[in-house]
C-alpha cells in the first residue's frame, strides 16, 4: 500500500506542481521533499492544507491513519522508556506493535529505539543488527540525519562493550556530521544542539584518558557553547520559541512543533513547582522539618537521573586522587553514594544502572584509600567489587578491576597474589571477546 508521502508525490506530479509550489505559504520545499520521502510526518492540519491544494479529500491520504497512529504511540512509548533508563519496558512497548515493514521515518525511529533498548539490556547482537540496517539505508539514500543518529548510537554501543577506539571514531564522525547539519538550515534546531552537546560530553573523557588535553579542552568548550541556552528549563523553552519564531515564515510545521515542546516543558515545570510548594506549606502546618525546597526543585526540574552529575563527579574525583587530595575525594564519594542511594529507592530506578554506578563509586573509593596508605582496606574493597561484578555477569568490568588489584600486588612484591589474580583475569577474559576497560563515560 502506498505511503502518505508516496501518495502526495504522485498527485503533485499529476497536477504538474513543483515542491516549492506545493509548499508555498505552508512549509519549505525541503519539508515537502522529506514528507514525500517519508522522512517526516505531516501534522493533520498541514496534511489537510496539502490535500486542499492538490484538490483531493484528506481522507485519500489517511486510509491507514489509525494503524500508523497506533504504531507511532508504541514508538513514542519505547522512546520514553529508553530516556527513563527502563530498557526492558521500552522493548515491551516496541515489540507490542507490528514492526513497520516499509522503509521510512516510522521504521527508522522504530529500529533506532529498538537498538537503544537492546544495547541497554546487553543484547549487542540485536542492537547491532538494527543499526546495520539503518546504516545501510542511510548510506544508500544519503540520509545525513539518519546517519548522524546511527553513528551516535553505534558509538554508545561500542563504548558500552569496551571498545573506546570504536566509540571515539563513531562519535567524532557523528559530531562532524551534526555540525554540518546544524549549518544547513539555520537556526540549528534546539534538539540537535542538545545532541551535539551530549556528544561533546561523551568525547571529553575519552580524550582525557588518552592524554589529549588540548583536544579535550576544545571539545569541552564546544559542548559548553552548544549548551549555553540550557541552564534552566525556562531557558530551554525560550530557545525553542526563538527557533519557532525564526522559521515561522518558511517552515510553519517546525515552528508549531517547537512551540508545542516549549509549552509542554513549561507545563511540566509548573506541575513540579506546585508539588514542591504544596509540600512545603503542608510541612509547616504539620510541624515537620522544612524540606530542602531548592534541592527538591533541582531534582524535579533538572535531572531525570543522576547519571550526568555522577559522571562529572567521578572525573573530578579521579583528578583529586591523582593530585593527592584524598580527603576531598572521599567527601565527594560520600555525596555520590548518598545521591545514588536516594535514586535507587525510586520505583523507576533501573537496577543494572544503579549497580554499575555503585561499582564505579566503590572502585574510586578503593583508589582513594590506596593513595591514603590504607592498602589492605583498598585491596579488600577492590576484590569485593570485582566479585560483585562477576556475579552480575560483567566479566569484562570485573577483569579490569582485578587488573588494578594486580598492579597493586606487584608494587608490594606479593608475587603469589599476582599469579592468582592473573589467572583469574585470564578466565574472565575468556568469557568475552572485548578487551577489558573499566571506566565511566
Q: Phi and psi for 24 in degrees, rounded to 5? A: -55, 125
| Grid coordinates belonging to 335 | 555525596
> 3-class DSSP state for residue 369?
helix
Provide the pLDDT for residue 203: 96
What DSSP designation does 441 have?
A: -
Give the per-residue pLDDT at 437: 42
409 CB-contact burial (10 Å; exposed 0-12 / middle 13-18 / buried 19+): buried
Q: Provide the pLDDT for residue 1.
A: 62
Report the distance separating Cα 320 and Cα 269, nearest Å: 36
Distances (CA, A) of 389 to 38, 318, 370, 397, 401: 45, 21, 20, 7, 9
Provide the CATH topology of domain 303-429: 1.25.40
Q: Using the predicted structure, report yes or no on whether residue 293 has a pLDDT greater than 60.
A: no
Between residues 115 and 185, the one the model is more confident about: 115
Report the alpha-carbon distance of residue 429 to residue 423 in Å, rounded: 10
Q: How far apart are CA 271 and CA 127, in angstroms?
A: 36
Measured at the alpha carbon of residue 315, what is the angle toward residues 328 and 365, in degrees to the nearest 5?
50
113: which 3 cell numbers? Answer: 529505539
Crossing angle of helices 164-184/190-209, nearest 10°? 150
What CATH architecture is 4-61? Orthogonal Bundle (1.10)
Where residue 295 falls among pLDDT bands split at 50, 70, 90? low
pLDDT at 102 over 90: no
Looking at every residue in the chain, the average pLDDT score rounds to 86
Helices and strands: H and E segment counts in the chain: 21, 0
| Rounded Cα distance, 323 and 339, in Å | 25
- Give the three cell numbers for residue 47: 496534511
In this predicted structure, which of 205-214, 296-305, 404-413 has the lowest mean pLDDT? 296-305
**What value does the mean pLDDT take over residues 189-213?**
93
What pLDDT score does 195 carry?
96
For the ranges 172-181, 226-235, 294-303, 351-360, which has the lowest average pLDDT?
294-303
User: Apex CA 74: angle with CA 106 and CA 349, to 5°?
Assistant: 125
Spatial distance between the Cα atoms of 401 and 406, rounded to a whole number of angstroms: 9
pLDDT band at 278 (very low <50, low <70, confident <90, very high): confident
Mean pLDDT of 119-134: 93
H/E segment holding residue 368: helix 351-372
Instruction: Name the nearest CA neighbour of 229 among 190, 267, 272.
Output: 190
In tens, the pLDDT along 410-437 reads 999 999 999 999 999 998 888 665 444 4
Q: Give the pLDDT confidence score for residue 302 in this predicted structure.
A: 53
Mean predicted confidence (pLDDT) in 311-318? 89
Average pLDDT over residues 79-92: 90
List the domain boundaries for the chain.
4-61, 231-291, 303-429
pTM of the model: 0.71
Q: Are 94 and 78 in contact (CB under 8 A)?
A: yes
Residues 347-361: tens digit of each pLDDT: 666 677 788 889 999
| Helix residue ranges per DSSP H, 161-292 | 164-184, 190-209, 213-226, 233-247, 252-285
Residue environment code for 351-364, b if the CB has 16+ CB neighbours within 10 A, otherwise e: eebbbbbbbbbbbb
pLDDT band at 68 (very low <50, low <70, confident <90, very high): low
Integer Cα distance of 154 and 277 in angstroms: 43
The set of residues, in sequence order, having a beta carbon less than 8 Å from that of 45 and lying 6+ positions away, is none
pLDDT at 375 over 70: yes
Please name the residue that has the C-alpha cell 520514553. Answer: 80
**pLDDT in the model for residue 148:** 97
Cell representation of residue 296: 527538591
- How far is residue 344's CA from residue 229's CA, in Å, rounded to a whole number? 30
282-292 pLDDT tens trace: 776 766 555 55
pLDDT classification of 441: cutoffs 50, 70, 90: very low
Read off the DSSP letter of residue 230.
G
Average pLDDT for 26-48: 85
- Integer Cα distance of 398 and 416 in angstroms: 20
Amino acid at each position: 500500500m502506498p505511503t502518505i508521502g508516496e501518495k502526495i508525490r504522485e498527485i503533485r506530479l499529476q497536477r504538474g506542481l513543483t515542491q516549492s509550489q506545493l509548499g508555498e505559504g505552508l512549509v519549505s520545499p525541503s519539508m515537502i521533499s522529506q514528507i514525500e520521502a517519508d522522512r517526516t510526518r505531516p501534522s493533520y492540519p498541514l496534511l489537510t492544507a496539502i490535500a486542499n491544494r492538490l484538490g483531493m479529500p484528506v481522507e485519500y491520504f489517511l486510509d491507514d491513519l489509525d494503524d500508523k497512529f497506533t504504531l507511532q504511540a508504541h514508538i513514542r512509548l519505547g522512546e520514553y522508556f529508553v530516556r527513563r533508563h527502563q530498557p526492558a519496558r521500552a522493548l515491551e512497548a516496541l515489540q507490542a506493535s507490528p514492526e513497520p515493514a516499509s522503509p521510512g521515518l516510522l521504521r527508522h525511529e522504530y529500529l533506532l529505539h529498538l537498538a537503544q533498548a537492546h544495547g541497554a539490556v546487553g543484547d549487542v547482537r540485536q542492537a547491532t543488527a538494527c543499526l546495520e540496517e539503518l546504516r545501510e539505508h542511510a548510506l544508500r539514500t544519503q540520509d545525513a540525519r539518519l546517519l548522524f543518529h546511527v553513528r551516535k548510537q553505534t558509538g554508545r554501543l561500542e563504548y558500552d562493550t569496551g571498545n573506546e577506539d570504536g566509540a571515539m571514531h563513531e562519535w567524532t564522525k557523528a559530531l562532524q556530521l551534526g555540525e554540518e547539519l546544524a549549518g544547513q538550515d539555520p537556526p540549528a534546531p534546539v534538539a540537535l544542539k542538545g545532541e551535539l552537546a551530549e556528544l561533546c560530553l561523551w568525547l571529553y573523557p575519552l580524550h582525557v584518558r588518552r592524554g589529549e588535553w588540548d583536544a579535550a579542552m576544545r571539545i569541552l568548550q564546544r559542548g559548553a557553547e552548544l549548551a549555553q541556552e540550557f541552564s534552566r528549563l525556562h531557558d530551554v523553552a525560550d530557545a525553542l520559541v526563538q527557533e519557532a519564531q525564526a522559521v515561522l515564515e518558511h517552515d510553519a510545521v517546525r515552528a508549531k512543533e517547537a512551540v508545542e515542546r516549549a509549552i509542554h516543558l513549561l507545563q511540566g515545570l509548573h506541575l513540579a513547582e506546585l508539588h514542591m510548594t504544596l509540600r512545603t506549606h503542608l510541612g509547616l502546618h504539620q510541624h515537620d522539618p522544612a524540606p530542602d525546597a531548592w534541592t527538591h526543585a533541582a531534582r524535579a526540574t533538572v535531572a531525570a537521573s543522576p547519571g550526568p552529575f555522577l559522571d562529572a563527579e567521578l572525573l573530578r574525583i579521579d583528578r583529586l586522587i591523582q593530585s593527592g587530595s584524598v580527603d576531598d575525594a572521599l567527601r565527594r564519594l560520600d555525596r555520590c553514594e548518598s545521591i545514588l542511594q536516594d535514586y535507587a529507592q525510586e520505583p523507576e530506578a533501573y537496577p543494572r544502572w544503579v549497580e554499575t554506578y555503585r561499582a564505579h563509586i566503590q572502585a574510586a573509593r578503593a583508589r582513594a584509600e590506596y593513595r591514603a596508605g590504607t592498602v589492605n582496606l583498598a585491596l579488600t574493597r577492590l576484590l569485593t567489587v570485582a566479585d560483585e561484578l562477576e556475579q552480575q555477569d560483567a566479566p569484562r568490568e570485573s577483569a579490569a578491576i582485578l587488573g588494578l588489584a594486580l598492579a597493586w600486588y606487584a608494587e608490594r612484591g606479593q608475587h603469589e597474589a599476582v599469579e592468582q589474580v592473573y589467572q583469574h583475569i585470564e578466565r574472565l577474559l575468556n568469557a568475552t571477546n572485548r578487551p577489558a576497560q573499566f571506566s565511566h563515560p
